[in-house]
Structures are given as structure tokens and as C-alpha cells.
């Protein structure tokens, strides 16, 4: 062993500190596995005085992450700053231009600038690695890019945001509202003070765009992802899902169709018997449907210092061992242009919760509009309170009550058309709830 791989880490938060500790703790094993020693030699963070659980006195300290990226004292730049723009982007670009390998956990950066960064890395002959950017400690990037390279993938989907899965799990188990569960998630550190990026599905969309590129050999197309979050989910939706044999999960789904690749993020009903329905709390899961292996599901921690550091160090070990793979499974020039499939053309089953006026003929009117749009109804359930049922058995109170429909396969466009007609008929007391059903 004649060489040391020198690491410069930008960002010493929970993950960065965990990476420093893991590299030190696993130094002997990493050297044995890769053929050279691996050592953190330089770091960059805003606060030098903060206690991060390790002794930084022997490390070169850079106040400027870009200066660290360009330093001749490192071979690999590890970007753990975050964000699609600003310092993270500038520093990664500088590192590549300086001929440094880059390891990042930054899904937003890759979703927005992955192709350009990958092309720059190819031109300089350096590695751009990002296992930690999707699903935390689950090695899904390597599984798709390398482990399944002999397969044709037809669909990849999963629970890619632990915050949303925690909230939905708590809502289901305890009958709590979204707002109450979000407050708890924030108190536990699972959700940010401004949770929009997580709960409205954008974090999942960035991760899905990366997986789509890997799975289908196309350019990253984050703007082509149809995105819905979980903030409109109510306890009744979870209760009805349970009674119908489903659970509600926020899924990111990428699927090959005859007209292109469909990318969507939205609350989804999944059968309770499915593997992905068993994934509760902050855990992540990714399922790949492929021709040779069939259905493959990977489950594990989607966030956290140690789990994410595990993925970062795995990329570092690959670089130390001299392993080189195209960033997105093939050279950037070989990635196909994305062909978007709009959600209006999506076809599948739907859960529809309508809040309607409790009066004679409403259910029939709803069914008529559905039929006119070519939608077949699998089941229909009208929920009335016990008090309303006892005092008004005929159902003529006119008060708002929930009417739940499960449809057979229908297009998004036809469902929206039917709901618009029902609204024009004056049958709705409030906006409808629409949740897609993901069937095997």
C-alpha cells in the first residue's frame, strides 16, 4: 500500500460528522478492501468552535468550501452542504474542474444539474458519486445501476421520504390529523420548521427523477414529475383505506408506457398484503419491477447521520478501489431525451371521496356522471353519522356527508371530467379527495 486517498468534507452537520467518524473507525477495513488508506485531511464548515464529536485539530480547515474543493491537499471532495444552487453547486463544479472526484448526498443538486455535472466529470475523467442522495442508507443506486444492469426495468416506485411516511403511519395508527402529526414530526426533528419541501412531495420528486434516469437510461427530468403532497389527507381517508384493504403511502412512481416514461408523486393506496405497505415510520422502501428478477424491494433507513454516512463511505470506498461507472449508468451522450406522459393520460384505479349533500338522488347523480365519463365503479359507500342515521333514516337532511367510490381502471382525464360535471350539478359541499390505487 503506497498511497493515501485524501478526503475533503464540506459540511459538518449530522451526516458530515458521521462520515468523519466512520472513516476513522473503519480505516483498517477500508484499506484492506480497497488497497489504499483512506483519510479525512480537510474540512469546511461555518462554525469552527462547535463540538461535533471528533477532534478536528489535525485537519486543514477551510472557511470557503470552494477553496477546499480546489485544494491540492485533497483527492476527493465530499459535498454535504445541500441545496440545488449556491455554494454547493459552485464547489462541486470547482472540484470537478480541479480534477477531484466528488461524492455528494445532494439530491436537489443532481435533480437540477446532474447531467451537466456528469458531463463535466466525464470530460475530466473523475467520478461523480451520489449513493446517499436517494433513500439514505439503502444501496438503491448501485442496485439499479450495477446489480440490475442485465434487466429491463418496467417500473420503479417507492417510499422516498421518511417525514411523510412517519406522518401517514401516525395518522393511521392513532387516528390523528395531519396537522397534529406534523407538529410531532417537527418536535422530533423529522420535519423542518418549513415542511413544504417534504410534505408537498418535492423531496420525493427529486429522488424519483434520479431513479428514473438510472432505471430507464434517460436524461434527468425533474420538471416532468407530476407532484402532489399529503397535506389534504384526512383521518377518514385512512379509515376507509383500512376497511377496503389498503394503506395510504406517499409514493414516487416511474413507469414505462407505450408513449413515454410516466413520473408521478402522490398519495397512493397500496394493498395491505404488499411489501411496501408494511413499511412504517421513517423507513424508506424502493421496489423495482424488472424482466429477469421480477419484483425486488429494498427497505431500510432513509435518513439519519449513520445511515447516510454509510452510503457516502460506500462511494468513497469505490473510488479508493478504482471502480469507475458512468454517473447515470451510461455516458451522458447516451442518455435518451425524456418523453413525458401527462397525468391526464395516466390510467389506474381511484379512491374518490366526495362530500355531498345528504338528500335523495345524490348517489344516483354521481353514478350517472361517472358512467357518462366511461368510468366503472367497483364499490360505493355512503357514510352518515350515527346521529343522522337515527334522526333521519331516509337520508333527507341535506347536511354534508362523505360518499366514497372505488373505480376500476380509468384515465386521469376522465375522472377529472366526471368530477367537474358533478360539481356543476351542485352535488358537492366541498372539494373532492382523489387518491390513486397502485395495483400489482
Query: Could you state, in order of their start, the residue ranges of all structural domains in the chain?
Result: 4-133, 140-301, 346-438
pLDDT tens sequence across 183-241: 999 998 888 889 999 999 999 999 999 999 999 999 999 999 999 999 999 999 999 99
- Closest to 224 in 3D by CA, of 385, 145, 391, 337: 337
Give pLDDT, residue 103: 98
Q: Kindly report the CA angle at 350 between 165 and 277, in degrees rounded to 5?
A: 30
pLDDT of residue 342: 73
Q: What one-character DSSP code corresponds to residue 336?
A: B
Contact 78, 9 (CB under 8 A): yes
pLDDT value at 417 more than 90: yes
The average confidence (pLDDT) of the chain is 91
DSSP, res 36: S
Please compute, for residue 439, the number of CA atoms within 13 A of its CA located in the half-sphere on the CB side. 12
Q: At what angle do helices 162-174 and 178-187 cross, to 10 degrees?
A: 130
Task: Tell me the pLDDT band of 343, cut-offs 50, 70 and 90.
Answer: low
141 and 173 in contact (C-beta within 8 Å)?
no
What cell was used for 378? 367497483
CA angle at 409 for the pair 407 and 410, rounded to the nearest 5°: 85
- Which pLDDT belongs to residue 259? 86
- pLDDT at res. 382: 78
Strand partners, 140: none
150 grid coordinates: 442485465
Give CA angle at 255 (252, 260), nearest 5°: 125
Q: Look up the CATH architecture of domain 346-438.
A: 2-Layer Sandwich (3.30)
Q: In the annotation, is 272 catalytic?
A: no
The strand pair at 410-411 and 246-257 is best described as: unpaired
Give 386's pLDDT tier (boundaries 50, 70, 90). very low
pLDDT of residue 52: 76
Confidence of residue 304 (pLDDT cuts 50, 70, 90): confident
3-state secondary structure of 189: coil
Record the cell numbers describing residue 309, joined without a space: 454516512
Q: What is the predicted pLDDT for the residue at 439?
A: 72
Q: CATH number of the domain at 140-301, please?
A: 3.30.360.10
Mean pLDDT on 364-385: 86
Same topology for domains 140-301 and 346-438, yes or no? no
Architecture of domain 4-133: 3-Layer(aba) Sandwich (3.40)
Q: Which grid coordinates belong to 39?
A: 483519510
346/115: higher pLDDT:
115
Total residues found in the chain within this entry: 440
Q: For residues 139 and 145, is the Cβ–Cβ distance under 8 A?
A: no
User: Does the pLDDT of residue 362 top 50, yes or no?
Assistant: yes
Residues with Cβ within 8 Å of residue 386, at least 6 apart in sequence: none
First to last CA, the chain: 51
Of 171-175, 352-356, 410-414, 436-440, the one with minimum mean pLDDT is: 436-440
Is residue 361 very low, low, confident or very high in pLDDT (cuts 50, 70, 90)?
A: confident
The answer to whether residue 393 scores a pLDDT higher than 60 is: no
84-125 pLDDT, tens per residue?
A: 999 999 999 999 999 999 999 999 999 999 999 999 999 999
Q: For 10-38, how does the pLDDT look when each residue is reduced to its tens digit (9 = 90+)? A: 999 989 999 999 999 999 999 999 999 99
Give residue 385's pLDDT: 52
Confidence at residue 191, expressed as pLDDT on a 0 to 100 scale: 87
Q: For residue 1, what pLDDT is reported? A: 42
- The answer on pLDDT for 358 being more than 90 is no
Reported as a single tens digit per residue, the pLDDT across 58-79 is 889 999 999 999 999 999 999 9
Element (H, E) at 438: strand 433-438
- Is the Cβ–Cβ distance between 207 and 156 less than 8 Å? no
CB-based burial of residue 32 (10 Å sphere; 0-12 exposed, 13-18 middle, 19+ buried)? exposed
pLDDT at 394: 54
pLDDT of 250 > 60? The answer is yes
Of residues 89, 100, 107, 207, which has the active-site annotation?
207
Q: Strands 294-301 and 260-271: what pairing?
A: unpaired
Question: What dihedral do alpha carbons 108, 112, 115, 119 form, nearest 10°?
Answer: -80
Dihedral of alpha carbons 92, 98, 99, 101, sign: negative
Amino acid at each position: 500500500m503506497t498511497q493515501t486517498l485524501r478526503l475533503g468534507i464540506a459540511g459538518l452537520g449530522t451526516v458530515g460528522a458521521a462520515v468523519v467518524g466512520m472513516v476513522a473507525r473503519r480505516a483498517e477495513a477500508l484499506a484492506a478492501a480497497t488497497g489504499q488508506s483512506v483519510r479525512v485531511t480537510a474540512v469546511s464548515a461555518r462554525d469552527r468552535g462547535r463540538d461535533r464529536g471528533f477532534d478536528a485539530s489535525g485537519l486543514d480547515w477551510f472557511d470557503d468550501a470552494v477553496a477546499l474543493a480546489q485544494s491540492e491537499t485533497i483527492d476527493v471532495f465530499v459535498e454535504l452542504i445541500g441545496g440545488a444552487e449556491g455554494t454547493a453547486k459552485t464547489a462541486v463544479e470547482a472540484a470537478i474542474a480541479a480534477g477531484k472526484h466528488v461524492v455528494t448526498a445532494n439530491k436537489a443538486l443532481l435533480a437540477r444539474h446532474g447531467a451537466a455535472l456528469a458531463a463535466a466529470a466525464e470530460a475530466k475523467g473523475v467520478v461523480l458519486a451520489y449513493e446517499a442522495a436517494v433513500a439514505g442508507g439503502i444501496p438503491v443506486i448501485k442496485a439499479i445501476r450495477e446489480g440490475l444492469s442485465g434487466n429491463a426495468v418496467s417500473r420503479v416506485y417507492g417510499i422516498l421520504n421518511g417525514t411523510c411516511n412517519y406522518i401517514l403511519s401516525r395518522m393511521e395508527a392513532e387516528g390523528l390529523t395531519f396537522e397534529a402529526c406534523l407538529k410531532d414530526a417537527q418536535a422530533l426533528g423529522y420535519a423542518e420548521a418549513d415542511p413544504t419541501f417534504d410534505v408537498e412531495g418535492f423531496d420525493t420528486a427529486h429522488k424519483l427523477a434520479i431513479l428514473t434516469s438510472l432505471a430507464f437510461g434517460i436524461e434527468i427530468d425533474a420538471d416532468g414529475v407530476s407532484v402532489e403532497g399529503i397535506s389534504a389527507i384526512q383521518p377518514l381517508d385512512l379509515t376507509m383505506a383500512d376497511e377496503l384493504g389498503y394503506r395510504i403511502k406517499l409514493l414516487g412512481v416511474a413507469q414505462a408506457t407505450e408513449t413515454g416514461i410516466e413520473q408521478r408523486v402522490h398519495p397512493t393506496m397500496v394493498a395491505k398484503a404488499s411489501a411496501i405497505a408494511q413499511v412504517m415510520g421513517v423507513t424508506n422502501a424502493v421496489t423495482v419491477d424488472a424482466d429477469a428478477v421480477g419484483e425486488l424491494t429494498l427497505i431500510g433507513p432513509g435518513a439519519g447521520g449513520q445511515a447516510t454516512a454509510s452510503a457516502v463511505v460506500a462511494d468513497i470506498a469505490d473510488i479508493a478501489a478504482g471502480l469507475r461507472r458512468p454517473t447515470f449508468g451510461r455516458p451522458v451522450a447516451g442518455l435518451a431525451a425524456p418523453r413525458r406522459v401527462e397525468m391526464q393520460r395516466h390510467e389506474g384505479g381511484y379512491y374518490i371521496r366526495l362530500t355531498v349533500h345528504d338528500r335523495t338522488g345524490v348517489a344516483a347523480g354521481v353514478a350517472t356522471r361517472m358512467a357518462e365519463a366511461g368510468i366503472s365503479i367497483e364499490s360505493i359507500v355512503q357514510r352518515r353519522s350515527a346521529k343522522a342515521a337515527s334522526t333521519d333514516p331516509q337520508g333527507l337532511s341535506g347536511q354534508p356527508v362523505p360518499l366514497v367510490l372505488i373505480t376500476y381502471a380509468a384515465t386521469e382525464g376522465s375522472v377529472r371530467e366526471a368530477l367537474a360535471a358533478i360539481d356543476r350539478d351542485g352535488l358537492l359541499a366541498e372539494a373532492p379527495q382523489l387518491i390513486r390505487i397502485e395495483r400489482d
